[in-house]
Structure 1
Amino acid sequence: MNSPVWGVVLAAGLSRRLGQPKQLLALGGETLVRRAARAVLAAEFAGVVAVVPPGELGIRIRAVLADLPLVFTECPRPDLGLSESFRAGLAALPGGVAAAHFALADMPFVTSQHHRAVLELFRETNAPLVLARYGAEGVRAPPHLFRADLFGGFTQSGDHGPKHLIREYSAQAAWVTLPSAALRDVDTPQDWARLTDQAGS
């Protein structure tokens, strides 16, 4: 399989539970969104889309990513939930893409090697889904890769991804197991406090 696979960094969330834009929080002197975008870029996808919110927050996020080779696209209604960001990312992809790999801006310990493992498994298997699971418990969480023939099924609404596609195609999915430490994300002030304590920031 040599058709292009693109990465998509979902960075349009409004961080309601956190109370401040999580994308712009700094860990080790680098914002979470920049850290996430650099990790996806280093995995050597054919291209990478960054989905950002409208307005001032979107301008601020674009500014911290301005020197990176990203294709920016705006999610016009991030208030409707993560589902809108998925669709905005898909709409920004060029024609002829074989698959899209979705990563979240608030998972700073997912590395380029982790993203590359998902990409390589897709190259090997051409599975309709390549899903990540974390640790011995096998917790399923992004990054996830979807083959292009599934793009039309991104009909979900609300604050989640296409869980119905994952259920429908789970028997055909390929899985990458990642370390449990990479699962940490930021949704609440308590999450951020724990994460910065663990990271020594």
Structure 2
Amino acid sequence: MAAGSSSRLGQPKQLLPYKGKTLLENIVDTASAVSDDVRIVLGSRHKQIAPVLAHTKAQFCYFKDWSQGMGSTLSYGIQQVLNKNRYTKAVLVLLCDQLHVTSQMLEELIFLHQQSDHLITACGYDQSYGVPALFDRKVFLDLLSLSGEQGAKKIIQKHFKNTQVISFPEAEVDIDTPKDLALLR
């Protein structure tokens, strides 16, 4: 997910430099290490952001209604995945600004999900939970019904009895404000 306008930050966080690349390139590389099918939902400033992905195998799509909120954007992304392969078994949802997500962490998340019968495997941090999270196809209709600002957390809450939460406190660190950006630098 990389569709937001980064309004609190005042510049597109997707293009912020981090470890010699942009935040978006870093998360795409991380996701590509665990999956051959990486999809990015772009929205705000997509014409400026899309060229950064030209050298990757990731596919991106433009959600023209990105300003409706992250729930609408996630729903659109799930629909794009299903348009390509309606038999998709699960979807791993990531954000471009969670700096400490690694391929090893994602491999562990995927492994734990495959070893359980839970519908969702989510990350726990700061006495909460959320993405990165892996969603079984049995909750795709719920993801498709999202709209507005309520995102993945709403679906995790709905299916909490059928969700396993793995500890990943580093997922709390993201870039939303100039103060966060100052800490990054």
Using the size of structure 1 for normalisation, the TM-score is: 0.83
Contact 1:118/1:130, CA 8 A, preserved across alignment: yes
1:191 aligned onto 2:157: no
- Report the counterpart of residue 15 of structure 1 in structure 2: 6
Aligned-partner Cα distance in 2 for 1:173–1:49: 24
- Secondary structure of the residue aligned to 1:104 is coil
- Report the counterpart of residue 4 of structure 1 in structure 2: none
- Report the counterpart of residue 40 of structure 2 in structure 1: 50
Counterpart of 2:164 (choices 174, 177, 189) is 174
Contact 1:138/1:177, CA 8 A, preserved across alignment: no
1:84 aligned onto 2:79: no
1:109 aligned onto 2:97: no
How many Å apart are 1:33 and its aligned residue? 0.6
Residues 144-163 of structure 1 aligned to structure 2 (within 5 Å): 144-154=133-143, 155-163=145-153
How many Å apart are 1:160 and its aligned residue? 3.3
Aligned-partner Cα distance in 2 for 1:49–1:183: 23
- Report the counterpart of residue 41 of structure 1 in structure 2: 32
Q: Could you tell me which runs of 5 or more consecutive residues in structure 1 were left unpaired when the two chains were aligned.
A: 1-9, 197-201
Residues 1:181 and 1:144: Cα distance change in structure 2 (over 3 Å): closer
Residues 27-38 of structure 1 aligned to structure 2 (within 5 Å): 27-38=18-29
- Report the counterpart of residue 59 of structure 1 in structure 2: 47
Residues 1:144 and 1:181: Cα distance change in structure 2 (over 3 Å): closer
Aligned-partner Cα distance in 1 for 2:139–2:130: 18
Displacement over 3 Å in runs of 4+: none
Contact 1:80/1:159, CA 8 A, preserved across alignment: yes
Residues 124-135 of structure 1 aligned to structure 2 (within 5 Å): 124-134=115-125
Counterpart of 1:75 (choices 58, 63, 66) is 63
Q: Could you tell me which runs of 5 or more consecutive residues in structure 2 were left unpaired when the two chains were aligned.
A: none
- Secondary structure of the residue aligned to 2:159 is helix
- Report the counterpart of residue 97 of structure 1 in structure 2: 88
Aligned-partner Cα distance in 1 for 2:30–2:37: 13
Contact 2:124/2:165, CA 8 A, preserved across alignment: yes
How many Å apart are 1:46 and its aligned residue? 4.6
CA RMSD of aligned residues (A): 1.6
Using the size of structure 2 for normalisation, the TM-score is: 0.90
Aligned-partner Cα distance in 2 for 1:100–1:181: 21
